[in-house]
Structure 1
Amino acid sequence: MAEPSWQELLRLRLAERNARESSFAPIIEQYRRLAQQTKLLKERNASLLKAVGSVRANPSSSTVYVPGTGGDNPVQAAYMASLESQISSLRDELATVYKTQGQNAQRLLSMNETLREKEEASRVDTENLRKTKEEVATLRKKVEQHNELMAEKDRTAQILHDEINTLQLELGQIEERNATLTKDNAKLLQRWLDAKQAEANKMNEANDFYEDMRSKHQNVLSWRDGSQGDASSVNNKDTESVSVSQGGSVSGNGSANEEGTTASTKDGTLSPAKAVVDLTPNG
């Protein structure tokens, strides 16, 4: 798991500080060793000078070391002390070196363990990166397919929109045509009704005129019947026989039948037949 940004920044700053402060560590260490060596040499020189001074103060003592002699040689003692001091410092330095080597070995183990963990994390990150790249490639393919599908749907929608516009225009034209036809039909129906009404009015006027003439004719016949008496009855019979021979039917008082085309009166004159009004829906 990746560290937070502020922790990583703090770690980098500390690493930069350590690198900056430890850049002169080898030089400082060399100067420290040189100072220690100089101190040891000064102490040995001081002891040697002290031993030489004691020899000069006692000329009878020998400055040459003879093996097996039990006498103390000041120069030799000073030299031995210097060497022991040097050996002690070297032992201390060796111990310090061993200690530093152990610390370095421990640090090396720790760094190896850290390196192994980093390598494992790097391997996991690499595997995750590979899987992520594969997922990204798959998602890109899906996005491309989706874009193609959306483009196809847009084209289809545009075609359908154009067809809808065309059908709406055709529907508008059809509605206008239907409205025009409805108006024309209404006008024609009104004209037909007006024409039939005019025909009916004419037929009614003709019927009224016929009824008027018939009533007048009946009045005339009644008047003539009252004046002639029996002679008129004989003439009426002759007139009826003549009317029947002509295809019409006459009543007993000389009136014409409504179904005949012509009717003869008692004096032989023809009266107009009554027209039959038969109005059908078709006129």
Structure 2
Amino acid sequence: MSDWLEQYSAALDQRDAREQVHKRYIDAYTKLADKSASAISNRSNAVPTSPISAVRTSTPTAKGKAATIASDKTDDPLSTLRTDLAATQKARAALQAQVDDLTTSLKTLEAQSKASTTQIALLTRQKVDGERKLRDRDEEIRGKSKLVTEAQDEMVALSLQLNMAEQTSEKLQKDNKELLDRWMTSKREEADRMNRDSSWQ
């Protein structure tokens, strides 16, 4: 929930708390104001039948003019008061409608906020699970990469050993051939000598 919404909710709570303390007075004043507005509306729609009205419709005398002037002076503040009261009631009704609309909007926003909070929590859990799986995959990849590197190193070492073994084998074969050649040469010479000594030639 945003800051302005929290401030607005807090202001509404404070207002409700203040009004709750003076609720009976506010209700009594509201009822009285409604009755007064209704009475004013009924009187304004009624046809005047007072003696003053009869005097006004007849030919005015000096006394009648004075009475009419006095009645006008008396009615002006009362009319103004009635007009102000009616305007106040109208403003109050408009404010009440505005408060009702704002309350509805607030409830809607609170419901949306709750739904958003639930969705955020779900997405957060999914994100945490995804990050954990990603870490597991990273560990697996690092482990396999290490095994591949070790296998490559071992293959290189075995290749070197094989090369050395092949070189050693070739050297041994060469040495063996040389030894065999010398032995064969020695045997031939010995045979020749024996033949000469025995006079077989």
TM-score between both structures, scaled by the size of structure 1: 0.39
Of 135, 141, 147, the match for 1:144: 135
Of 111, 117, 122, the match for 2:113: 122
Give structure 1 stretches of 5+ with no counterpart: 1-69, 207-260, 262-271, 275-283
Q: Give 1:188 shift.
A: 5.0
**Amino acid in the other structure paired with 1:105:** Q
Whole-angstrom distance in 2 between the partners of 1:167 and 1:124: 63
Q: Give 1:109 shift.
A: 2.4
Of 168, 171, 175, the match for 1:180: 171
Give structure 2 stretches of 5+ with no counterpart: 1-61
Q: Which residue of 2 aligns with 1:227?
A: none
Number of residue-to-residue matches in the alignment: 138
Of 63, 82, 94, the match for 1:71: 63
**Amino acid in the other structure paired with 1:125:** S
Q: Give 1:176 shift.
A: 1.4
Whole-angstrom distance in 2 between the partners of 1:109 and 1:273: 143
Q: Which residue of 2 aligns with 1:92?
A: 83
Whole-angstrom distance in 1 between the partners of 2:92 and 2:160: 97
Whole-angstrom distance in 1 between the partners of 2:177 and 2:200: 37
Whole-angstrom distance in 2 between the partners of 1:194 and 1:91: 149
Whole-angstrom distance in 1 between the partners of 2:162 and 2:185: 34
**Greater Rg, structure 1 or structure 2?**
1
Question: Is 1:106 matched with 2:83?
Answer: no
Q: 1:171 to 1:273 in 2, by over 3 A?
A: closer
Whole-angstrom distance in 1 between the partners of 2:74 and 2:96: 32
Whole-angstrom distance in 2 between the partners of 1:142 and 1:171: 42
Whole-angstrom distance in 2 between the partners of 1:193 and 1:80: 163
Q: Give 1:174 shift.
A: 1.0
Q: 1:162 to 1:273 in 2, by over 3 A?
A: closer
Whole-angstrom distance in 1 between the partners of 2:175 and 2:137: 55
**Amino acid in the other structure paired with 2:106:** L
TM-superposition CA deviations, 1:139-180 (whole Å, max 9, x none): 232233223323433443343233223212211211211232
Q: 1:89 to 1:190 in 2, by over 3 A?
A: farther
Whole-angstrom distance in 1 between the partners of 2:162 and 2:91: 100
**Amino acid in the other structure paired with 2:167:** E
Q: 1:179 to 1:73 in 2, by over 3 A?
A: same
Q: Give 1:186 shift.
A: 5.0
Q: Give 1:134 shift.
A: 1.2
Of 155, 169, 191, the match for 1:164: 155
Whole-angstrom distance in 1 between the partners of 2:175 and 2:200: 40
Q: 1:273 to 1:121 in 2, by over 3 A?
A: same
Q: 1:79 to 1:160 in 2, by over 3 A?
A: farther
Whole-angstrom distance in 1 between the partners of 2:144 and 2:72: 103
Whole-angstrom distance in 1 between the partners of 2:158 and 2:130: 41
**Amino acid in the other structure paired with 2:99:** L
Identity of aligned residues (%): 22
